[in-house]
Structure 1
């Protein structure tokens, strides 16, 4: 099974980091958040990835082209018969990574449509290059297979960005809750799709999260997998710092691998 990861956004709300590199390469615990996401899938035996590149996509290409050299000791023979011998292999899973330029301004639906030529399985997964979770991927896929619909989206109960006040008729604050969990569900990616999804996608301006998913819902072809565990997206510098604090404290819930 393949996983398509959206890695082309400009990350404008994280300019402290993304001015110099694409958001998927912003590091958590000394490793790009993209690496963390790939490790989550790999823990469940899914090692085949298609990356939809856009903003500073060449940086991501360079990261993978130089991956072995940057993560191993090596001996290089220069001149004729140039050879590189790697030592102390890093022990990563055997990732297969397809890097596809999908345009600087292309929307998510357009990016997914462009990489359809690299998807040869009947079922595949799609997610974002900035969100980590402790989702049971095997259970998610099993749920998708069980209902037989075209699409499954992972849903979580989000937290409010603001503290919530319970105010009495006399304007007294009776209760204060800092960023409570909202009584609704939100899409966080970690999609599972049947190939029929491509029939719902348009050109480069197609936004997956708008008309395609809305049409799927209208046709009774969109199901939700409720995730009650951890999910966190790195959209701002504050969120970047929080994820790094979790990793440094050895309390990163998304680290499902050994």
Structure 2
């Protein structure tokens, strides 16, 4: 990657910074007029800005870090220790004029700056997958292959990379196939199965885990992949004092038409050419306190979003951990399934 691709001008907006981060695949951009380092913008800076109520149209100067870590280029050998010490993903190397000559990424040095999560994970793997018919006529959705692995194994591997070793799969449709696959698999983690005799929704199936989980846990649908630091998500959840934290992805949509707004008498009030919409959407990944399981009604179908709404109306704290649009992959529909395949193959 060329250095120019990691540079961003100070007059750019938060939204433009998010889009640039998605394009580069890295989690950092540098404010460096004429290559002279002034500041950095990271995905964490953007997340904090949004959670404080900042707007996507704000200039990046509102949330950039103007005291970034760096090293003189001749001290490159110290980069690994500095990356580990400050848990940062990238370190710019500067010449004597303060200009960026190179960037050392944690991946280049085999340094893992991600935070350990180590929580149990509940995977809702019992759905019929009707939107993926005819694939699901033959296979249950958790076993639909994405590349060389089924989607459920991709999901488990991502959590396992952050220290999660205990997995609970809530199964129903074609559950014997799911159990057979994972029982025959060589693995360094534990899987238990929760049999759902009738469809209980994305939340009701949790009631079958009563008495089995006494710690904070991750909950995920079995058709989504998130590129994020799961340890950071958990740390955010605990520091925020949330009962539930929802991982949400930003969606940026441009409507390819001129949109007409009507007045009270049917006249044209306003015309907007190709308006843009920005919003947060639920990815289907959560951090949940165990009390939620114990307070669920048994044998009662309910979606997890409905559970969240009930708690929110009762005054409980439900938080949001935002990630970029490019950090979220969903295979709930056939078109999205093919997009996920292409993205994973390109990696």
For residues 222-237 of structure 1, the aligned pairs below 5 Å read: 222-228=318-324, 229-237=326-334
Structure 1 residue 64 displacement after superposition: 1.2
Contact 1:155 1:224 in 2 (8 A): yes
Unaligned runs of 5+ in 2: 1-118, 262-267
The separation in 2 between residues aligned to 1:159 and 1:17, in whole angstroms, is 30
Evaluate the alpha carbon distance shift between residue 168 and residue 192 of structure 1 in structure 2; reply closer, same or farther with a 3 A threshold. Answer: closer
Instruction: Provide the residue aligned with 2:346 in structure 1.
Output: 249
The DSSP-based 3-state class of the residue aligned with 1:154 is strand
C-alpha separation in 1, matches of 2:260 and 2:204: 49
Q: 2:131 maps to which residue? A: 13
Check whether the contact 2:207–2:294 (CA below 8 A) recurs between aligned residues: no
- Provide the residue aligned with 2:258 in structure 1: 166
Aligned to 1:119: 213
Call closer, same or farther: CA 1:187–1:174 in 2, change over 3 Å.
Answer: closer
Pick one of 184, 187, 197 that aligns with 2:282: 187
SS in structure 2 of the partner of residue 19 of structure 1: helix
* CA distances 1:34-85 after superposition (whole Å, capped 9, x unpaired): 11111111111112100000111111001012224xxxxxxxxxxxxxxxxx
CA distance in 2, matches of 1:183, 1:40: 28
Q: 1:13 to 1:159 in 2, by over 3 A?
A: farther
SS in 2 for 1:118: coil
C-alpha change, 1:204 and 1:164, in structure 2 (3 Å) is: farther
Structure number with greater CO (CA < 8 Å, separation at least 6) is 1
Moved more, 212-221 or 32-41: 212-221
1:98 aligns with 2:192: yes
Distance 2:248 2:259 in 1: 31
Q: Displacement, 1:127?
A: 0.7
Higher CA-based Rg: 2
Q: Mark the CA change 1:146 to 1:25 in structure 2 (over 3 Å): closer, same or farther.
A: same
Q: Counterpart of 2:227?
A: 134
Q: Are 2:199 and 2:301, in contact at CA under 8 Å, matched by a contact in 1?
A: no
- The secondary structure found in structure 1 opposite 2:169 is strand
TM-score normalised by length of structure 1: 0.77
Do the aligned residues in 2 keep the contact of 1:14 with 1:235 (CA within 8 Å)? Answer: yes
Deviation per CA, 1:109-154: give whole Å up to 9, x if none: 2201102332132x11111111011021011000011022211111
Would you say 1:209 and 2:327 are equivalent positions?
no
Change (3 A) 1:158 1:104: farther
Q: Is the 1:6–1:129 contact (alpha carbons within 8 Å) kept by the matching residues of 2? A: yes
Separation of aligned partners in 1, 2:317 and 2:259:
42
8 Å CA contact retained: 1:48, 1:96: yes
Alignment RMSD, CA only?
2.3
> TM-score with structure 2 length normalisation?
0.58
Could you tell me which runs of 5 or more consecutive residues in structure 1 were left unpaired when the two chains were aligned. Answer: 69-91, 251-258
Asked if 1 retains the 8 angstrom alpha-carbon contact of 2:218 and 2:288, the reply is yes
What does residue 158 of structure 2 align with? 40
Report how many aligned residue pairs link the two structures. 219
* C-alpha contact 2:204 2:304 (8 A) present in aligned 1: no
Cα 1:156–1:59 change in 2 (3 A) is same
